[in-house]
Structure 1
Amino acid sequence: MNYKELQPDCEKCFGLCCVALYFSAIDGFPVNKDAGKPCINLKGDFKCKVHGELNKKGLKGCIAYDCIGAGQKVAQVTYLGHDWKKKPESSKQMFDVFIIMKQLHEMLWYLNEAVRLQYNNNINKEMLIKKIDEIKNITNLEAKSIIKLDLILTRMGVNKLLLQTSEFLRLKVNSDKKSLKGKKALGGGLNLMGADLRKKDLRGVNLSGAFLIAANLKNVDLSWTDLIGADLRDADLSGANLRNSIFITQAQINSAKGDVNTKLPESLSKPNHWLI
């Protein structure tokens, strides 16, 4: 699948993320906002009034958010270019479809990463490609069918393949012998908030779901480290090597700190606020 299909194109969307989602000011959004209500900064042409000032205004929630291409998919494919203003009777359904589509695109991102990371290894590659085709076909269904989708069942099939891929890739650096001793779990993930990890060998470590908020990861090699679902808000990735990190997303990168020396996979881009 072309990664461009999994990258946001706001010009082809109707500001769906700025309307469909619940916002909380404490999470770095402009104000507390109910789902289905337009953001105070959303203009009539679906553009953001303060898009060029997000960093200046400290709107970290807006900076980090990434719809993974779900916005334009719903706007241009599911609803054929008909926006929620012109068809208000369909607005609630459109917002619900967008939320589901975002999760489907997230699955597609991880599955495509699983294929990319394996290079010439053939473990589950055919199954991964088959699952990608299956999920992509679902994203092309009409709105009513997407609404009825059993997301839990769909996600279970995807998660099984992702787990197998992670375990296979982490064996490249004998990850089964590595652990972060003395680190307690918080809500199912390791609590590494504010931790100085610069001297830790994290290659091949399973950090899925870990809380890495404000952690110091300067110049750390995160090759074959599983970062799926890890909270990287304000984590310092300056000079870190994430080129072969497992299941890292643009949203995670957007929420972290980094610099020109941070090494990212080709599928990701360095945020503008890193380069200021």
Structure 2
Amino acid sequence: MNVSVIIPTYKRSEFLIRAIESVFNQSYQDIEIIIVDDNGLGAQQEITKKIAKPYPKVKLITYSKNCGGCYARNKGYEEAKGNYIFFLDDDDVFLPNKVQTQVDFLNNHTELDGCLAAFKRIGENNLEIKATSNFPAVGDFKNFVINGNFFTPMLCIRKTSLLKVGGFYPIERFQDRYMMLHALVEGLKFECIQEPLHIMYEHNGDRITNKSIAKSVDSLNVMKNFIQNYKLQFTAKQWNSFLEKDMRMRGFVFYVADSYQDRIKGFGYFLKAFRLSKQINDIKFAFKSIVKM
């Protein structure tokens, strides 16, 4: 097999068949599919086994307990036989030309370690959500820190390059962004394809809890500490741009919270971002944080 598609799954078995079928429907056919069930022992894992059973070309890996997304993705690519690695979330789908387009791109750019492709975002009302975050942006390390945008299903990467990075690092949130930071520090090179090649479905059912907010904040702290190691590479203006982005990301963490106290924290982070950026959108989000209450 030349391509391996890794599908981690956790508590979303109702969408898994759709994801699998989108890979089988690719114009490029030299593909293996590896499903990594991260549900742990129990009913959800049994459902995954039943879903995978009719697909003899699907390899299923199971865990006896929930280990987290980074471990599931790492286990998948470590077991992969393909030269090119893709990742697909269990509730999303690849468009039919995704694998062919990205594999051809890397075959034509042998100096690259990987490429990223844009996606379409669909909300719960089945309407398309258009946003700049639907499009990848990488560049070098400094550019990614300031302007970067990356979600794991955008990626096609050579397995040899992913092994060099060491895969995904064990943080609770923003695992894709943290992996890319390490990849760029290692000198890996990526280019972006601005054609949408997969569909990301948004779900509003996941409740934002104090625990999930704490995980996001902790992960942002880990990334900030990592970036701090390379502060001398940045000009003062570039470093302020990073701090502005960091404040804004923290603002959005609290922006979606239910509680008054958390939304007030979001308000404060957006104001801090505005002081650095002078962007009117930061003021808009600051007041939206409290108007939503």
TM-score bucket of the superposed structures, by smaller chain: under 0.3
Using CA pairs below 8 Å that are at least 6 residues apart, which structure has the higher relative contact order?
2
Say which structure is richer in helix. 2
Say which structure is richer in strand. 2
TM-score of the superposed pair, with normalisation by structure 1: 0.25
TM-score of the superposed pair, with normalisation by structure 2: 0.24
